[in-house]
Amino acid sequence: MITLVNYGLGNIQAFANIYKRLNIPSEIATTPEMLKRAEKIILPGVGAFDWAMKRLNESGLRESLEERVLVDKVPVIGICVGMQMMANRSEEGKLDGLGWIEGDVKRFDESSFTQKTHLPHMGWNDVEPKEGEGLFRNLQVDARFYFLHSYYFATRHPQHVLSTTDYNGRYASSVRRDNIFGVQFHPEKSHQWGIQLLKNFAEM
């Protein structure tokens, strides 16, 4: 069972549709009780950092979510701002992050940009995964994903970087610490590549 955390943000139904097509059971969790039976958790997100943190903090789901992720070690994947929330803090906001993976969310440094288009990083870009990483099974060659963001996850420890992407230099386009995963791009909006990644997560 894939559990999609509904705290009022992100395209939850798009994930549910993809899993339905893949014949993988999923449910949208709106209560702590529903999180208790989760075997895999997806934490979606779009929007500004503080807005997303506020919604999660007020959803009544945070405590139960942290227990499942940090104590029970249930695999979880954060999407876009859902990933950024896993950091300690963000330059985009004032609220504390979840602090599940050590690091800060930072704005790209525009002063170093050479091309005409600066921020946001918007569109389809390549993702270079770490070798042998199961989340990127069958996505080692020519995988493209959709990005839409101006801030990136600067991990404190390089071993938490799962893949890199080039946007005026390489940055972490996905992260992992043990059972905790995060992707900056939108797999739910990345056609067959995104579907493959969501399938991989379900099968881990």
Partner 1 sequence: MLRPRIIPCLLVHNGGLVKTQKFTNPKYVGDPINAVKIFNEKEVDELIVVDIDATVLGKEPNYTLIKHLATECRMPLCYGGGVRSVEQIDKIISLGVEKVALSAAVVETPELITLAAEVVGGQSVVAVLDVKKRRLGGRYEVMTHNATKKTGLNPVDLAKKAEDLGAGEVVINSIDQDGAMNGYDFDLIQKVRESISLPLTVLGGAGSLQDIESLISRFGIVGAAAGSLFVFKGVYRAVLINYPNRSEKDALIKGNL
CB of 18 to partner 1, least distance (A): 8
Eight-class DSSP state of 190: S
> Coil, helix or strand for 196?
helix
Distance CA 83, CA 80 (A): 5
> Coil, helix or strand for 169?
coil
- 33 Cβ contact partners less than 8 Å away, ≥ 6 residues apart: none
Length of the chain in terms of residues written: 204
Which ranges of 44-121 does DSSP label H, i.e. alpha helix? Answer: 49-57, 62-66, 81-84
Q: Kindly tell me which residue out of 57, 150, 164, 200 binds partner 1, with binding defined by CB under 8 A.
A: 150
> Coil, helix or strand for 102?
coil
Question: Interface residues for partner 1 in 118-147 (CB under 8 A)?
Answer: 118-126, 144, 146-147
From 58, 80, 102, 121, the catalytic residue: 80
Does 23 participate in binding partner 1 (rule CB under 8 A)?
Answer: no
Nearer to partner 1, 99 or 123 (CB): 123
Answer yes or no: 188 catalytic.
yes
How many residues of this chain bind partner 1 (CB under 8 A)? Answer: 46
Answer yes or no: 80 catalytic.
yes
- Where does residue 115 rank: exposed (0-12), middle (13-18), buried (19+ CB within 10 A)? exposed
Listed ranges 66-74, 127-135, 169-177, 188-196: which one lies at the site for partner 1 (CB under 8 A): 188-196
Nearer to partner 1, 1 or 195 (CB): 195
Q: What's the token pair of residue 125?
A: 């870009």
Query: In angstroms, what CA-CA distances link 81 with 45, 59, 71, 138?
Result: 5, 16, 23, 25
Distance CA 120, CA 203 (A): 32
Answer yes or no: 58 catalytic.
no
CB of 44 to partner 1, least distance (A): 9
Nearer to partner 1, 11 or 67 (CB): 11
Site string for partner 1, 94-123 (x = CB under 8 A): ----------------x--x-xxxxxxxxx
Active site amino acids: 80, 186, 188
Chain residues that interact with partner 1, rule: CB under 8 A: 8-14, 17-18, 46-49, 51, 81, 92, 110, 113, 115-126, 144, 146-150, 166-167, 186, 188-192, 194-195
